Chains A and B, each alone.
Chain A
């Protein structure tokens, strides 16, 4: 089955710096890659996703890149702010459409220091 590895497990940056979180997956059939942000005590919320027919997607200060050949994808946050502090999870899925069995990485705890 699918396995998703996420690095680093913790990341500390200064406000205004960039942050990069990387994930690798094992199943070459995976075709959907979402990123979720989870603040302390809250539910995970989708921040960006990418599908296997796209190499890069950007939404304001966040971007995701996908390398299907190497089977890895990354989250990039630019101009970080204290409110970006949270745990970020990547996931991968090869659902046939209609539903997705998401396999999650273990998470990255991002701390942005003022």
Chain B
């Protein structure tokens, strides 16, 4: 049982490049989330998916898109990366019966 996994672990992009961050969970959770973590600002919700087939904006959705590919997978896409998107990105999932969110190991993204 791997829990929540994320790929890649680390990525360097140039301004304007695009990329997709992948997230998968094997806990049969309905809900999945994408956060970004910046120094001194805690974690901020980018997008979430309450259940398979639905996605909604969080606090800071601008510049991102998401896809809930199936119950296990939730991807985050940066269409045209900007230096302001340099951050650590965490994916999380939760079960509707238990509100605890379980986090993945994170993806460290540097946009030059």
Contact between A99 and B30, CB atoms less than 8 A apart: yes
Question: B42 an interface residue at 8 Å Cβ cutoff?
Answer: yes
Cα A55 to Cα B45 in complex, Å, equals 27
- Determine the chain B residues whose CB is within 8 A of the CB of A104 once the complex forms: 42-44
Question: B90 an interface residue at 8 Å Cβ cutoff?
Answer: yes
Cα A51 to Cα B43 in complex, Å, equals 21
Question: A11 an interface residue at 8 Å Cβ cutoff?
Answer: no
> How big is chain A's contact interface, by range?
20 to 34
How far in angstroms is the closest Cβ of chain B from A64? 14
- Determine the chain B residues whose CB is within 8 A of the CB of A1 once the complex forms: 59
Q: Which of B15-23, B74-82, B97-105 contacts A (4 or more CB under 8 A)?
A: B97-105
Contact between B101 and A107, CB atoms less than 8 A apart: no
How far in angstroms is the closest Cβ of chain B from A78? 23
- Determine the chain A residues whose CB is within 8 A of the CB of B106 once the complex forms: 43
- Determine the chain B residues whose CB is within 8 A of the CB of A102 once the complex forms: 33, 43, 45, 101
Question: In the complex where A45-B103, A98-B30 touch, is A107 in contact with B45 (Cβ < 8 A)?
Answer: no
CB-based nearest A residue for B100: A46
Q: Show 22 residue pairs from A and B whose CB-CB distance is below 8 angstroms, ordered by the A residue.
A: A34-B99, A34-B100, A34-B101, A43-B103, A43-B104, A43-B105, A44-B103, A49-B99, A89-B42, A97-B96, A98-B31, A98-B50, A98-B51, A98-B96, A100-B94, A101-B45, A101-B58, A102-B45, A102-B101, A104-B42, A104-B44, A106-B42
Chain B residues within 8 Å of A, Cβ to Cβ: 30-31, 33, 40-45, 48, 50-51, 58-59, 90, 94, 96, 99-106
Chain A residues within 8 Å of B, Cβ to Cβ: 1, 6, 9, 32, 34, 42-46, 49, 89, 93, 95, 97-107
Told that A34-B100, A89-B43, A102-B45 touch, could you supply 17 new A-B pairs with CB distance under 8 A? Answer: A1-B59, A6-B42, A34-B99, A42-B105, A43-B104, A46-B101, A46-B102, A49-B100, A98-B96, A99-B50, A100-B94, A101-B45, A101-B58, A102-B43, A103-B59, A104-B44, A105-B42
